């Protein structure tokens, strides 16, 4: 069963990760052969604190709050290339680069 606001990607032991994203509701799976990987597709906040330097060599503490959610059509690709913890891997590097370019 896939809860509201969530989507599932089905991993098949014989065919690998399927390209179809399963929506909310009850779905049938073949036990032992298929396994659902459930993603939260609601907008979630994330606070990222960054210490960066300005032009006059001062240290600046900035906290950026990001609202993010995955693109549901790309969930199989996100799972195969990055993994279930895509937000932990992608967001910190992007936010630090953006904040360092903003604080000049």
53 token code pair:
């330097």
The overall pTM is greater than 0.75? yes
Q: How many structural domains is the chain composed of?
A: 1
Cα 57 to Cα 75: distance, rounded to the nearest angstrom = 42
Predicted pLDDT at 104? 66
Read off φ and ψ for residue 92, nearest 5 degrees.
-60, -40
Amino acid 91: pLDDT = 87
**Helix (DSSP H) and strand (DSSP E) numbers for the chain:** 2, 5
What confidence tens digit (pLDDT) does each residue in 10-29 have? 999 999 999 999 999 999 99
**pLDDT at residue 34 in the model:** 95
Q: Per residue in 41-94, pLDDT tens?
A: 999 999 888 887 777 888 888 888 889 999 999 999 999 999 999 998 998 888
Domain holding 81, by residue range, is 4-101
Distance from C-alpha of 46 to C-alpha of 32, rounded to nearest angstrom: 35
Q: Which among 41, 45, 47, 35 is positioned nearest to 10, based on CA atoms?
A: 35
């Amino acid at each position: 069963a896939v809860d509201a606001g969530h989507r599932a990607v089905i991993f098949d032991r014989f065919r690998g990760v399927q390209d179809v994203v399963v929506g909310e509701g009850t779905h049938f799976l073949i036990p032992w052969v298929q396994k659902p990987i459930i993603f939260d597709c609601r907008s979630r906040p994330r606070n990222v604190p960054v210490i960066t330097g300005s032009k006059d060599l001062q240290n600046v503490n900035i906290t950026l709050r990001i609202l993010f959610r995955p693109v549901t059509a790309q969930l199989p690709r996100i799972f195969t290339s990055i993994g279930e913890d895509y937000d932990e891997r992608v967001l910190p590097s992007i936010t630090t680069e953006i904040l360092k370019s903003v604080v000049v």
